[in-house]
Amino acid sequence: MQSLVFLITAVLLILSTATADNVTTEFIPLYYTCSEDGGRYGENSTYLSNLKVLAGLLSANASTANFVSGTAGQAPDAVYGFVLCRGDYTGAATCGKSISMAFRNTVDKGFLCRFYKDVTIYYDDYMLRFSGDDVRRNLTNRPAWVALNMNSVTRVAGKNYGEKVEKLTKMIVEVAASSPARYGTGEAWVGGNDVVSMAYGLLQCTPDLQTDDCRSCLADLVSMMPAHFSHESSDYYVGGRILGPRCNLRYEKELFFQETNATLLIDVPKNHLGKIEIILITIAAVLSIILFIALLGWIIQWKADSKTRNELEEWTRLVAVEIGTMFTHFTLSEIRSATDNFSEAKKLGEGAFGPVYWGKLAYGVVAIKRLAAYSSQGLEQFRNEIRFIAKLQHLNLVKLIGFCMQQKEKILIYEYMPNKSLDDIFKDVAKWASLTWPLRQNIIDGIAQGLLYIHNFSQSETCIVHRDLKASNILLDHQMNPKISDFGIAMLSSSATESQDTVPMGTLGYMAPECFHGSSISVKSDVFSFGVLILEIISGRKVATSFRRYKRSDNLMAYAWRLWEDGNCKQLIDNSLSVEEHNSESEIIRCIQIALLCVQANPEDRPDMVEVVRMLSIKGTQLDNPKQPAYFDELIVATTSNHTSTRYLTAIHVHPA
């Protein structure tokens, strides 16, 4: 199979569906392709009208079948397309609703592939494809997408696991190809002393394929697996998937599909009950000891401090209501073991919340944030962090794995970010100089996508305002992809377009003037902070840096504005950037203009994140001319310590010398 395969190690999201009249988490796909080969259409074109007709037709029919195809209009404006939902997707009605939402976000709202004729989009449980060419007759599996499991774990898998996975998927090929639904699942016993004891697989074709065509398509995917999923040390990654418009494949170490009588079982031993009984007895004994110790500790704590016990029980109940079963409630003993009892050797750093450690849990390597005794962030901020991140699942938001509330400890467990924060990169001259413009642009785009997501997160007609967007709260994974963190002071706003009065909280230089002076916030407050971040990323200078120019001292925003007025923005660009090498000077200056639009003093003059994302992604968009930015005649000076979560700002008025 000659497919265009993009190998991306990414977080595989399980996205939830919300009300159909709002932007929801369904807006964020696993992967999408906007093909230039298909050309583009206009805003009021016949092609767009036909596309909307086709979208309605496919969405309606997907409520009764997992695969539907169709066409709308006549050449040269005809539109062809099809949709495919996973064979075990919960109910055809849910499939139709999801397809309808995907088309709405793509066609009506234009968040993805705006005005592209040839589009393919993959979600976790379904995909859609449409084009000006008759893709229904095209049996190729392009464009395809390859990804590892969500954590790229290799330590629990090995050669035996890889062999079982390949054997399992090869056998499921025949099951899927022979099935009228062109869908098959299977399970294989791995056994041994490894942590992984089972392997699970799922393969699917579009049902319009003939048996031989489906078999050939799936066999090609299976043949690709060793190249993409076997590790350099001969271990096999514990999970992976290959998605194509005509057929797809996925395997994991944990069950991820609905089992049926048709689910294939291979190599399950018949005489292993004795070992299992021994293991169960051992587990029961260990659990009994753990429960006894936990109960004894609870009784001692109850006698020692009844008030604290009752408070923690109540808060634990509230947290459980907030997050349900989405995350893990770890015990304090697990956390102590993972961090060597919070040893200095495993300490990553310290912030307003408290110290952060790294450790190993069953999940893998994680970051463990412990509320310090000196921290002013109490149970309210702790619960606030959980209640927001529990509901926010996005590639550009840090993933919360679990929490611990035991005795007087309040601990949050996150995915581990090997490159720490953007602020840490700022402080390392060599690392900062290694950030090319494509890398910096990717960081800017990723932050924008994360903000767009939280600002449009629908929860009873409300939106989420982060309130503390800054370089130290932008974490970077192993591929330097940005993830927004620290929702401790985030809040729900009654509307994405209305301001709301609140106590001023934030960080010097990043806080919008309406928050600092008038105690009023909205999503435009986060837009201001994002504009400051863009200027820092482009210039390599912090916002509170003092720039001597025109016999006066300017902050970063004022300095950028004066260069803009002089038509000399190139001076703002970091000297470590090889602008000529990437031929990117015009792109960088465009980003400076977008940043200046974001840091306008009046919130109404700032774009929202939908507009910002469009300006960043569609290079030909005409931009407005910015006005004088906020804090133009003010020198920004920090006045707070690291051990406080209420971060007030001080701005000193500076008259020209």
**For 339-343, 404-408, 546-550, 554-558, which range has the lowest pLDDT when averaged over its residues?**
546-550
- Confirm if 455 and 422 have CB atoms less than 8 A apart: no
> Among residues of the chain, what percentage have pLDDT more than 90?
44
Residue 500 in domain: yes
Q: Is the pLDDT of residue 595 over 60?
A: yes
Q: Which two tokens stand for residue 560?
A: 């950028």
Give how far Cα 157 sits from Cα of 15, 197, 218, Å: 27, 10, 24
Parallel/antiparallel/unpaired status of strands 144-148 and 126-131: unpaired
**Mean pLDDT, to the nearest integer, of 323-334?**
77
pLDDT band for 494, please (50, 70, 90 cuts): low
Least Cα distance to 126 among 109, 101, 143 occurs for 101
Peptide bond into 418 cis (omega under 30): no
Residues 462 and 373 in one domain: no
Residues 226 and 185 in one domain: yes
Residues 476 and 525 in one domain: yes
- CATH code assigned at 42: 3.30.430.20
Residue 649 in domain: no
Task: Give pLDDT tens digits for 615-631.
Answer: 999 988 889 999 999 87
Least Cα distance to 317 among 383, 409, 381, 244 occurs for 383
User: Residue 456: what residue type?
Assistant: N
Q: What is the pLDDT of residue 605?
A: 94
Task: Give pLDDT tens digits for 499-510.
Answer: 555 666 778 789
Q: How far apart are CA 476 and CA 367, in angstroms?
A: 13
Residues 154 and 169 in one domain: yes
Parallel/antiparallel/unpaired status of strands 116-122 and 183-189: unpaired
Q: What is the pLDDT of residue 179?
A: 94
**Mean pLDDT, to the nearest integer, of 430-455?**
94
Structural domains of the chain, count: 4
Least Cα distance to 440 among 336, 579, 267 occurs for 579
Q: How far apart are CA 554 and CA 557, in angstroms?
A: 8
Q: Which two tokens stand for residue 434?
A: 């290694």
Last residue of a domain, one of 397, 415, 433: 415
Residues 101 and 241 in one domain: no
Residues 500 and 557 in one domain: yes
Residue 289 in domain: no
pLDDT: which is higher, 71 or 408: 71
Give how far Cα 473 sits from Cα of 51, 419, 431, 545, 656, Å: 41, 13, 18, 19, 34
Q: Is the pLDDT of residue 23 over 60?
A: no
Q: Residues 124, 220, 235, 468: which is the catalytic one?
A: 468
Residues 395 and 457 in one domain: no
Q: Is the pLDDT of residue 271 over 70?
A: no
Q: How many CB atoms are located within 10 Å of the residue 320 CB?
A: 13
pLDDT band for 201, please (50, 70, 90 cuts): very high
The end-to-end CA distance of the chain, in Å, is: 70
- Confirm if 324 and 318 have CB atoms less than 8 A apart: no
Buried b (16+ CB within 10 A) or exposed e, 415-440: bbbebbbbbbbbeeeeebeebebeeb
The alpha carbon of residue 549 and the mean position of all alpha carbons in its chain are separated, in whole angstroms, by 41
Q: How far apart are CA 579 and CA 390, in angstroms?
A: 40
**Mean pLDDT, to the nearest integer, of 505-533?**
85
Residues 62 and 35 in one domain: yes
Q: Is the pLDDT of residue 592 over 90?
A: yes
β strands within 459-602, DSSP E: 463-465, 474-476, 482-484, 491-493, 500-501, 520-521, 547-549, 552-554
**Mean pLDDT, to the nearest integer, of 552-563?**
83
The secondary element (H helix, E strand) that includes residue 117 is: strand 116-122
Residue 349 has phi, psi (to 5 degrees) of 170, -170
Give how far Cα 406 sits from Cα of 225, 292, 309, 410, Å: 44, 16, 9, 7
Q: How far apart are CA 616 and CA 537, in angstroms?
A: 15
Residues 110 and 213 in one domain: no
Residue 290 in domain: no
Q: Is the pLDDT of residue 17 over 50?
A: no
Last residue of a domain, one of 119, 137, 155: 137
Task: Give pLDDT tens digits for 44-56.
Answer: 999 999 999 999 9
Task: Give pLDDT tens digits for 89-120.
Answer: 856 578 888 899 999 988 988 888 989 999 99
What's the chain's average pLDDT? Answer: 81
Last residue of a domain, one of 396, 415, 434: 415
> Among residues of the chain, what percentage have pLDDT more than 70?
77
Task: Give pLDDT tens digits for 138-148.
Answer: 889 988 899 88
Angle between the N-to-C axes of helices 556-565 and 523-539, in degrees from 0 to 180, rounded to the nearest 10: 70
Residues 467 and 575 in one domain: yes
pLDDT: which is higher, 577 or 447: 447
**Mean pLDDT, to the nearest integer, of 550-559?**
73
Q: How far apart are CA 413 and CA 61, in angstroms?
A: 43
Q: Is the pLDDT of residue 65 over 60?
A: yes
Residue 120 pairs in a beta bridge with 33, 129
Q: How far apart are CA 66 and CA 208, in angstroms?
A: 12
Q: What is the pLDDT of residue 442?
A: 96
Residue 112 structural domain: 31-137
Residues 392 and 374 in one domain: yes
Residue 653 in domain: no
**Mean pLDDT, to the nearest integer, of 129-137?**
94
pLDDT: which is higher, 185 or 622: 185
Residue 298 in domain: no
Q: What is the pLDDT of residue 21?
A: 36
Residue 634 in domain: no
**Mean pLDDT, to the nearest integer, of 149-159?**
61
DSSP code, position 473: G
Angle between the N-to-C axes of helices 92-103 and 46-61, in degrees from 0 to 180, rounded to the nearest 10: 160
Residue 511 in domain: yes
pLDDT: which is higher, 521 or 179: 179
Predicted TM-score (pTM) of the model is 0.51
Residues 456 and 538 in one domain: yes
Residue 369 has phi, psi (to 5 degrees) of -105, 120
Q: How far apart are CA 427 and CA 645, in angstroms?
A: 22
Task: Give pLDDT tens digits for 529-551.
Answer: 999 999 999 999 988 776 655 54
pLDDT: which is higher, 322 or 632: 632
Catalytic status, residue 468: yes
Residue 545 has phi, psi (to 5 degrees) of -60, 140
Q: What is the pLDDT of residue 270?
A: 60
